[in-house]
């Protein structure tokens, strides 16, 4: 069954306006949403980065939607604290919350002052965090001494049923690795070939649950206006791993983007003045092996897109969508 959700970008929109946007998305007909989890934006032009767990509580209270978030435990946030936040959100909103766990980006994690580990170490740390979080959600008292350290951590407030812990992945290698522990997978839009390789890698390795894709869209009255907005907001987000994982500040991303041309963002963003084109693009990406998509409108202003384009997306795909409250 196809799931179509709205993506709330904390790096671009201040939290009160973002809360209004997700409420409007529900009015338009979305039953699902998700949010990012950053300490810093990708660029100074984006200029926002609210604390996602605080916002998530407000968004779940404001709406009746099922809402999830990307989160990177292990360096910036200790996994026991992650487990407590996850448990509280699910206990207050049974069946309406999920979290997608990833190994993080240096942009956000370096604030602790600890060294930024290589990718294999980050994956190993994430795997330890997943085990800690799952054990705590199951009611266990956890002591752990590894890449993360935990001393007799126990959750006193727990949900009746733990929420899904899904994986984030942008490469087939990470997708296959995550299949052994994740309850699902989410990636970001890439070429059709790369998207298919990611979904196939996860499923071929025995991955369970839904496979989802976040799709970046820039829509406006003219294609040039849409391209201008995409370039202004997203030119720092066109870099493939490992560069996007390892740059350490908005200034570093700006320096890396100095030679990015406006048309270069088309590889990462659906740029268009046509609702039909958006629908076609979403359908094409779903056909590469995905059970649902979360739509991120890259320009800061969300209302025109939600009112004029989102209804076409929902009409095209949500006849098969799961109802609000279904599990990830």
54 CB-near residues (< 8 Å, 6+ apart): 15
Nearest to 10 by CA among 61, 74, 56: 56
Place of tokens 């936040």: 85
Task: With H, G, I as helix, E, B as strand and everything else as coil, classify residue 40.
Answer: coil
**b/e map of 101-138 (b: 16 or more CB within 10 Å)?**
bbbbbbbbbbeeeeebbeeeebbebbbbbbbbbebbbe
Give the span between the Cα atoms of 151 and 145, in whole angstroms: 8
Task: Judge whether 144 counts as a catalytic residue.
Answer: no
Helix (H) or strand (E) holding 216: strand 211-219
Within a 13 Å sphere around the CA of 312, how many CA atoms are in the beta-carbon half?
15
Catalytic site residue from 7, 38, 71, 297:
38
> Is 216 a residue of the active site?
no
Among the options 11, 105, 109, 128, which is catalytic? Answer: 105
Give the residue numbers annotated as catalytic, written as ranges: 38, 105
């Amino acid at each position: 069954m196809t799931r179509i959700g709205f993506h709330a970008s904390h790096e671009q929109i201040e939290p009160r306006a973002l809360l209004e946007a997700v409420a409007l998305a529900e009015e338009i007909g979305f039953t699902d949403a998700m949010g990012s989890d950053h300490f810093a934006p990708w660029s100074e032009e984006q200029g926002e980065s609210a604390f996602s767990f605080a916002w998530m509580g407000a968004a779940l209270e404001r709406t009746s939607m099922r809402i999830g978030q990307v989160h990177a435990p292990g360096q910036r946030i200790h996994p026991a604290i992650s487990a407590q936040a996850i448990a509280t959100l699910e206990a207050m909103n049974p069946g309406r919350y999920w979290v997608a766990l990833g190994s993080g980006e240096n942009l956000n994690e370096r604030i602790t002052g600890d060294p930024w580990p290589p990718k294999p170490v980050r994956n190993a740390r994430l795997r330890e965090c997943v085990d800690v979080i799952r054990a705590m959600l199951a009611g266990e008292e956890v002591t752990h001494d590894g890449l993360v350290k935990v001393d007799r951590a126990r959750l006193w407030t727990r949900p009746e049923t733990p929420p899904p812990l899904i994986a984030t992945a942008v490469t087939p290698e990470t997708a296959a690795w995550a299949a052994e522990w994740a309850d699902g997978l989410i990636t970001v839009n890439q070429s059709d070939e790369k998207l298919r390789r990611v979904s196939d890698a996860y499923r071929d390795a025995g991955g369970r649950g839904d496979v989802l894709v976040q799709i970046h869209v820039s829509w406006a009255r003219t294609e040039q206006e849409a391209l201008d907005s995409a370039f202004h907001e997203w030119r720092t987000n066109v870099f493939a791993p490992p560069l996007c994982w390892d740059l350490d500040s908005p200034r570093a991303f700006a320096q890396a983007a100095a030679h990015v041309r406006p048309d270069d963002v088309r590889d990462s963003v659906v740029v268009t003045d046509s609702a039909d084109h958006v629908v076609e693009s979403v359908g094409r990406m779903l056909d590469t092996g995905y059970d649902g998509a979360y739509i991120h409108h890259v320009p800061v202003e969300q209302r025109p897109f939600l009112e004029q384009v989102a209804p076409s997306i929902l009409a095209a795909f949500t006849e098969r969508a799961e109802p609000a409250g279904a599990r990830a």
